[in-house]
Amino acid sequence: MIQERYKPTFLRKLYPNTKLWMSLGITFAILFFKNVWLSLAIMIASLIMIAYEKYILEFKVVMVSILIMAIMMFSINGTLNPVIDYSKDPVFILPLLNWKFYKEGLEYALTYFSRIAPLMASLFLLFRTMNMTDLGIGMYEGGVPYNVSFMFISTFQIIPVLGKDMNQIMDAQRARGLDTEGNLLKRFKAFLPVMVPVVANSIMRVRNQAVALETKGFNSTAKKTVYRDLPRTKADHFLKWLSILIAVSSVIYKIVITYVLK
Amino acid sequence: MGMRTIDSSKGKMRTTYMAILIPLGIAINFVGGQIASRLALPLFLDSIGTAIVAAIMGPFVGAVSGVGFNIISSIIGGNILSSLFGICNIATAFIVGFMTRAGKFKTVVHAIIATVAVALANALLGAPIAVVVYGGIQGGGVDLLVAGMLSLGRDILSAAFLARVPINLVDKGIAVFAAWLILMRLPDSLKNLAGGKKKIEEEQEEESN
Amino acid sequence: MKECIIQTQDLVHTYPTGVTALKGVNLSIYRNDKISIIGQNGSGKTTIVRHFNGLLKPTSGKVLLYGTDTTQQKVGEMSRKVGYVFQNPSHQMFCTTVKDELEAAPKNFGFTAQETKDAVEEVVELMNIKDVLNVHPLTLDYTTKKIVTIASVLTFKPDVLILDEPTGGLDEAGRVMLTNIIEMMHRNGHTVIMISHDMDYVAENSDRIIVMCEGEIIDDGVPEDIFLNAPVLQRAQLEPPQITQLDLYLENGNQSRAILSVKDFVDKYKQNIN
């Protein structure tokens, strides 16, 4: 999932919290500067970095959902929303279907699309270059309570375990005659016979896990030692403060144009 | 049984149980979605974990698990803003959690009431979030219904809500119903690890007998 | 000439992760065989056996069940003839009572209510699980859970019975019951295939052993010969049963067939002493 460790590139070598700060900075910048050109720039920059980091294949899935979103946003909003006055001239008319696209709708769609698409691309990039366990450690070192960091990390460890269980259980039920390939009704009926054992098994393990955690000192108040060494470089400091600067200035900008420059 | 001394309703043990069940709830949400797609079912069925954790550990723990799921799946899916839908999951957790605490998540009728309540809550909360975040159109099947509503002359907010009611009735509704069925099939010892008033009262009753 | 019921031809299987678990396996399984497949973890035992009821399909090569390609049949149809008892009993249970659990498979396969009732009664009688009929399966102890899963597969009387690590975690009474069941199935003309790490059990309860290593079959024969074949066993990183080892040590490797049970050992050495 998001946990591979390939050769270290610049983005991957960054301390995980730095990337959180960068996410914050980018999000604030996109939301408050509200500039289509800025969004476009971020989008292009992200795409370049994604290609450089060789994540194009994984990004394809996200790219497809961005495209579908674009098509639906522009077509539905463009033709139907929030048009109040149908007497205005449409911007263009789609030839065969005679759909009328209006300026208002298209602008509306553009506002939202130029917010979401660059966010999706840039945050995809930042999070894919993070190892989730490292992020959990970064959280703990950054002051997040141990319990929370632990829960964060263990989520990513449990998900594949349940996935494996699911495969075993589905096979076991199929071996007892459960039909997983028939018509829709049959497939619906197959959901519970697979879901119930997966959940029941995982919950049965909970009691033992609780005892195991207790015996390993989970609730002790001593400070936990972190085993992995995550280096912090000058680049991390620079990027962190740059992001904070961008975030703060975007908020100030927004306040200024909303209230001061009426 | 020796396990009597490990009472999850009290203090530190409860934290340990939370530390295990919250991630588990998130994982169950994921697995529900995975099974649905393996069986090529046209639904998400990804609130089952939230409902189960809410029933076992109470509404607040369930809510944390639900929000956690939305945050993590938005990280994996790439759209961080969709974690705002965690508000819907909180509603699911609260409804199921409080109903269970009140002892009202046991019969089929209870399950149906919970299903409808959760579906409406999700539609009610999901619509404004969709409008604020996406401008009303998300890039999913629900948008076709929204388009339909818009063409009938409704504004974007009510269109988003009306479109979401049937969809949530089916998707979230089935999830809650599935959670109820799963809970019915668990052995009694596991059904309520939460403590909360009712369980402590029951235990005191048992001890005085 | 015995009927060949399962045949693999140059079977190759590569998992989506990229691991090639089977590297071109040719195997024939005949009616009424009592087979054990042995080998290290990762040697391909579970992978090959899952092709027999269609749970896995070949990446290349063919698997024939009763002469028909498994890719041409549905898993449900094949499972009716090839029963598979999984290693972890908890993976195969989803009902609230043992009785429901036992009725699940016959119902899936379209048995009528009466047929289901009869089938379940027969199995309950056979495996002596009347007391736990109304108990929640997941609360049972491990041995009883295992017995219940075997019972739930026996309800529909499959032609072939595959057991994945059946002795793991079983107490002595469980082992005895398992042996009786395998004997009974064999007597009644069924075919039994076992995957096991339990060499002692395998030696005494198989008439044919298949040794697998790294995705290939490296030996296939009767237990008396297999357990004498030191180079093969070494390559597969397996040790013969303890009693066999004792005999090998005493005879300095000069025997013509392996000793497979304590009884055989005692008989042989009583003779020698006299």
Q: What is the CA radius of gyration of chain C?
A: 20
The residue of C87, C93, C94, C150 whose CB has the most chain A CBs within 10 angstroms, and thus the best one to mutate to test that interface, is: C94
- Hey, are the CB atoms on A180 and B39 less than 8 Å from each other? yes
Q: What is the ipTM of this complex?
A: 0.81
Q: Does C75 touch chain A (CB under 8 A)?
A: yes
Residue B181 in any domain: the answer is: yes
Does B114 score more than 50 pLDDT? yes
- Hey, are the CB atoms on A214 and B56 less than 8 Å from each other? no
In chain C, residues with a C-beta closer than 8 Å to the C-beta of A168 are: 86, 88, 91
Q: Which range of residues forms the domain containing residue B131?
A: 8-194
* Distance of residue A247 Cα from the nearest chain B Cα, in angstroms: 17
Highest mean pLDDT: which of A31-45, B99-113, C56-70?
C56-70
Strands of chain B (E only): list them: none
**Is B74 within 8 Å of A2 (Cβ atoms)?**
no
pLDDT per position as a tens digit, B59-73: 999 999 999 999 888
Q: Please identify which residue in the block is written with the tokens 């040794």.
A: C211
Q: Phi and psi (nearest 5°) for B118?
A: -65, -40
DSSP C254: -
What sign does the CA torsion over A115, A121, A123, A126 have? negative
Residue B14 in any domain: the answer is: yes
Q: Does C263 touch chain A (CB under 8 A)?
A: no
pLDDT at B1: 36
- Hey, are the CB atoms on A201 and C156 less than 8 Å from each other? no
Output the domain CATH number for residue B12: 1.10.1760
Q: Domain locations in chain C?
A: 4-240, 241-274
Q: Does A168 touch chain C (CB under 8 A)?
A: yes
Does B184 score more than 90 pLDDT? no
In chain A, residues with a C-beta closer than 8 Å to the C-beta of B155 are: 82
Highest mean pLDDT: which of A22-26, A82-86, B157-161?
A22-26
- Hey, are the CB atoms on A176 and C94 less than 8 Å from each other? no
C121: tokens are 């009664």
Q: What percent of chain A has pLDDT over 90?
A: 1
In chain B, residues with a C-beta closer than 8 Å to the C-beta of A98 are: none
pLDDT at B198: 39
Q: Does B185 touch chain C (CB under 8 A)?
A: yes
Of the two residues C268 and B206, the one the predictor is more confident about is C268
**Beta strands A99-101; C68-69: pairing state:** unpaired
Residue B1 in any domain: the answer is: no
Mean pLDDT along residues A162-175: 89
Nearest residue of A to residue B141 by CA position? A72
pLDDT per position as a tens digit, C102-118: 998 898 888 999 999 99
CB atoms within 10 A of CB A227: 6
Q: In residues, how long is chain B?
A: 209
What sign does the CA torsion over C91, C94, C99, C105 have? negative
User: Of chain A residues 143-162, which have a CB less than 8 A from chain C?
Assistant: none
pLDDT per position as a tens digit, C202-242: 999 999 999 999 999 999 999 988 888 888 998 989 988 88
pLDDT at A89: 63
Touching subunits of C (3+ CB pairs, under 8 Å) are A, B
Half-sphere exposure of C54 (CA within 13 A, CB side): 26
Question: Under 8 Å CB-to-CB from C230, ≥6 apart: which residues?
Answer: C253
Does B145 score more than 60 pLDDT? yes
Distance of alpha carbon C41 from alpha carbon C19, whole angstroms: 14
Q: Nearest by CB to A172, which of C74, C92, C109?
A: C92
Strands lying side by side in the sheet with C4-14:
C20-30, C4-14, C60-65, C68-69
Distance of alpha carbon B163 from alpha carbon B170, whole angstroms: 12
CATH of domain C4-240: 3.40.50.300
pLDDT per position as a tens digit, C149-197: 999 999 999 999 999 999 988 888 889 989 999 999 999 989 999 999 8
Mean pLDDT along residues A141-163: 87
In chain A, residues with a C-beta closer than 8 Å to the C-beta of C83 are: 175
pLDDT per position as a tens digit, C9-65: 999 999 888 889 999 999 999 999 999 999 998 888 999 999 998 899 999 999 999
Q: Domain locations in chain A?
A: 10-130+232-260, 146-215
